[in-house]
Amino acid sequence: MKRLARRLLVLSALLWIFTLFTAAAAPAYAEVTGNCDATFKGVDVKTRDSGKTGDAVEVDENEVVNVGFTSPAGFTAHKIQIQIAGITTTVSDEDDDGSNSFSDSYNVKDYAKWGTGYYKVIGKATLNDGSTCSGALLVKVTKGALETPAGIAATATTAVGAAMVLGSAGASVVQGRSASRKIEEWIADEIEQEGQRDQQREREEETERELRAWDDMYDLFFGAFLPWFFCFLLVLPALILTGATMAMPGGAPAASGGLHLKRVPWRPRISGLGLLGGLLGGAGLVVMLQQFAVTPLTGEMAIEGLVCGLIVGLLLPTLVQTWTIMGLNRKIGSGERRLSQAMGLTGQRPVSPPPEQPPQEPPSEPQG
């Protein structure tokens, strides 16, 4: 998964650079080129810019549009094309009789039955002398975006992609909460066990004091009345009791520095769900902008939408995971102080720290 994510990131960077260079190097498009004039629905194509939404010509979905070309050189053939997202589709391809003009009419439904919004209409003609001429115009189809299959699909795709990205980000929160509960339970268990160990040490110290008291009584009794007879018996118990005392735990605390628990390390959240959701959301969003007649959909815009979606699919879950990790480390720091107080500040024994896994995989139960 990480290797795939790295490849996607490199690909997105290359696409982004390609898009920037393409946009910077694209020359200004002459709306009519060659020895001809063109009209669309009675509008002179030369007066309109096919890259500006303000110059778009509105057409109804049920409208039949007339396209006309004139040239003193005459025409032998022509074609009408529709372009969206850099993809060009031919809707009319006819031969002409060499006259100085031609007109063509077609139904808007022929190219906009699946969608609405902005389309670029391109007319190309071949003149009698073998040269060519062409013209381009931006058309706005006036129809509700949610009444077309393309508009509905784009809206649904954007919603699904956003849900996937949010789901990937939300998974960090859910897993972080689970890890937080496990850390809190582990700290509570350690504090409880430390209290039990303190009670055990107190019982052992009490037992040791009782043994020493009995030892003193034996020394006094046998030393006063039978010093020589029980000399050997006094030496043997003393040796046994001394060895037992040295072997008892808690006799000498282990030297240690201040208690320190390992923190959860930071790392980016690279999720296939988030990356795929970002791509779907970016693709759906740019199509929605076209279908709702916000802006024309060009090839460069389509690439930028995919790249931006991929970045969002990586960045948003990573930001949420960073926030979650910060919360876990604060909880570990609080638990560290509580454990230090329970263990006498400096600590009486090494304590196993909480697991180091980041929130994308909930930490396993630590061993006390």
pLDDT, tens digit, 9 for 90 and up, residues 34-77: 899 999 988 999 888 888 888 999 998 888 888 899 999 999 99
Considering the domain architecture, whether residues 335 and 280 belong to the same structural domain is answered as yes
> How far is residue 291's CA from residue 86's CA, in Å, rounded to a whole number?
15
Considering the domain architecture, whether residues 263 and 319 belong to the same structural domain is answered as yes
The answer to whether residue 66 is domain-embedded is yes
Tokens matching residue 247: 């072997």
Considering the domain architecture, whether residues 69 and 132 belong to the same structural domain is answered as yes
The answer to whether residue 7 is domain-embedded is no
Domain count, the chain: 2
Considering the domain architecture, whether residues 42 and 165 belong to the same structural domain is answered as no
H or E element: which one contains 134? Answer: strand 132-142
The answer to whether residue 65 is domain-embedded is yes
Hey, what amino acid is at 182? K
Alpha carbons within 13 angstroms on the beta-carbon side of residue 215 total 15
The answer to whether residue 164 is domain-embedded is yes
Considering the domain architecture, whether residues 163 and 90 belong to the same structural domain is answered as no
The SS3 assignment for 234 reads: helix
**Is residue 286 within 8 Å of 150, Cβ to Cβ?**
no
> Does the model's pTM come out above 0.75?
no
**Is residue 261 within 8 Å of 335, Cβ to Cβ?**
yes
pLDDT of residue 343: 74
User: Nearest-CA neighbor of 65 among 123, 8, 5?
Assistant: 123
pLDDT of residue 308: 93
For the chain, the straight-line distance linking the first and the last C-alpha, in angstroms and rounded, comes to 33
Considering the domain architecture, whether residues 87 and 54 belong to the same structural domain is answered as yes
**Is residue 102 within 8 Å of 75, Cβ to Cβ?**
yes
Considering the domain architecture, whether residues 54 and 123 belong to the same structural domain is answered as yes
> How far is residue 125's CA from residue 99's CA, in Å, rounded to a whole number?
12
pLDDT of residue 131: 92
Considering the domain architecture, whether residues 158 and 139 belong to the same structural domain is answered as no
Q: Which of 106, 123, 143 is the last residue of a domain?
A: 143
Question: How would you write the pLDDT of the chain (368 residues) with one tens digit per residue?
Answer: 455 445 544 455 454 444 444 443 333 344 788 899 999 988 999 888 888 888 999 998 888 888 899 999 999 999 988 888 888 888 888 899 999 998 888 788 877 777 888 989 899 999 999 999 999 999 999 888 888 888 899 999 999 999 999 999 998 888 888 888 888 888 888 777 776 766 666 666 677 766 666 566 655 555 554 454 444 444 444 443 333 333 333 333 333 445 788 888 888 888 889 999 999 999 999 999 999 988 888 888 899 999 999 999 999 999 999 998 898 888 888 888 888 877 765 444 444 555 545 444 444 444 43
The residue segments making up the domain with residue 59 are: 31-143
Tokens matching residue 11: 């690909």
Tokens matching residue 52: 């500006």
The SS3 assignment for 275 reads: helix
Considering the domain architecture, whether residues 66 and 192 belong to the same structural domain is answered as no
CATH of the domain at 92: 2.70.50.50
Residue holding tokens 């040295």?
Answer: 246
How is the beta sheet containing 43-44 ordered, strand by strand?
A: 43-44, 37-40, 64-70, 101-107
Rg of the chain's alpha carbons, rounded to an integer? 41
> How far is residue 168's CA from residue 69's CA, in Å, rounded to a whole number?
55
Hey, what amino acid is at 5? A
pLDDT tens track for 207-227: 776 666 656 665 555 555 445
Considering the domain architecture, whether residues 66 and 47 belong to the same structural domain is answered as yes
Considering the domain architecture, whether residues 171 and 306 belong to the same structural domain is answered as yes
